[in-house]
Structure 1
Amino acid sequence: MVGIVTFVTTASNFGFGSNFLATWGKTYVIGYVAAVPAIYMLAPIARRLTVQLLN
């Protein structure tokens, strides 16, 4: 998911220039480092909320 989001935002902001892969790679690493801890923190909350809503 991080790859898709960073690819689309990098392409829309900077286009497919000569340094696209370098820019996208840097953006991907930053996004991944931000997303993984967020997933670990938010997943239990989302599970509990889902159980409450469906039961």
Structure 2
Amino acid sequence: MFLIQEEKGSAAYNAGYEIGYEVGQWIAQNPLLAVFIGAVVSVGFVWILTKVVKQIRTFGE
């Protein structure tokens, strides 16, 4: 916990925060991109979920 608190003031933390902030602003200003990213994340989640369910169903065979 103390390590994380110390790194918050570091240059690497600030650079990562700034990059994340800029990417977030860019996505927020492009609604089509936000919808596309949401669709990709949703499809990826469903794909992983189907793989997990298939593993569970075929576990004893």
Normalised by the length of structure 1, the TM-score is 0.42
Tell me: higher relative CO, structure 1 or 2? Use CA pairs within 8 A at least 6 residues apart. Answer: 1
Q: Answer with 1 or 2: which has the greater Rg.
A: 2
Normalised by the length of structure 2, the TM-score is 0.39
